[in-house]
Amino acid sequence: DTAVSQTPKYLVTQMGNDKSIKCEQNLGHDTMYWYKQDSKKFLKIMFSYNNKELIINETVPNRFSPKSPDKAHLNLHINSLELGDSAVYFCASSQRQDRNLYGYTFGSGTRLTVV
Amino acid sequence: AQTVTQSQPEMSVQEAETVTLSCTYDTSENNYYLFWYKQPPSRQMILVIRQEAYKQQNATENRFSVNFQKAAKSFSLKISDSQLGDTAMYFCAFMKQVGAQKLVFGQGTRLTINP
């Protein structure tokens, strides 16, 4: 069973289109994230949700809108795609227990290519 | 704000050798977590090892161990008896113990194990 699953794995689309990436976790974790990995492999957080509540919203264009219908799902919708949005997008989840945190569990990533 | 620096963009060693990847970080926090993640060509992000800052003992996981120097804000990863499957990007990451569970990543080190 996949712990954190993202769909699609690859997405090629034209500039100006609107697209969504879906993420689901079956670990029972309370917190989910979206990270962006650029062409130089640098990973940077975009959003974080805890029990459906937005808790981290980094400096991200408002064309990006996360949606969390329940704590097991965190989707990412992108409007008016631009060439610079081409990247790998990772979903992840985590759980804090007794002030300990064991790191994130990541999905396998979605490679978005805007042409 | 926390920053993580990996000063070695690329490294290359022969199979069975030992290799050490460097990581330094900057924070004013006293309690935090440090992680090493591996990203092989498959793109999957895999947790290699974690360290709690309040523990003086260095973490070990089979062939992987860390040298955690809190005063120097240094967190290096040692891979012993390196194997071809260790070829990957390695990312050092930092997370505060309290507050939002945000992982801050270094730039990554591309490690190649040669036969």
Ordered DSSP codes for B49-108 = EEEETT--SPPEETTEEEEEETTTTEEEEEE-S--GGG-EEEEEEEEESSSS---EE---
Taking CB atoms and an 8 Å limit, are B105 and A42 in contact across chains? yes
pLDDT class of A97 with cuts at 50, 70, 90: low
Return the CA Rg of chain A: 14
Residues of chain B with pLDDT under 50: none
Q: Is the pLDDT of residue A15 over 90?
A: yes
pLDDT of residue A100: 56
Complete domains list, chain B, with CATH = 3-114 (2.60.40.10)
Check residue A50 and give its pLDDT: 87
CB < 8 Å to B52, chain A = 100
Full domain range(s) for residue A25: 4-114
**pLDDT surpasses 60 at A112:** yes
Q: Which of A80, A100, A76 is nearest to A88 (CA)?
A: A76
A14-30 exposure pattern, b = at least 16 Cβ within 10 A, e = fewer: eeeeebebbbbbeeebb
pLDDT for res B56: 85
If DSSP codes are grouped into helix, strand and coil, which group holds residue A103?
coil
Average pLDDT over chain B, rounded to an integer: 94
How many angstroms separate the CA atoms of B3 and B29, rounded?
12
Q: How crowded is residue A6: how many other Cβ atoms within 10 Å of its Cβ?
A: 24
Hunting for tokens 């390695």 — which residue is that? B90
Counted domains in chain A: 1
Residue in B37, B52, B100 closest to A56 by CB:
B100
Task: For residue A104, give the CATH number of its domain.
Answer: 2.60.40.10
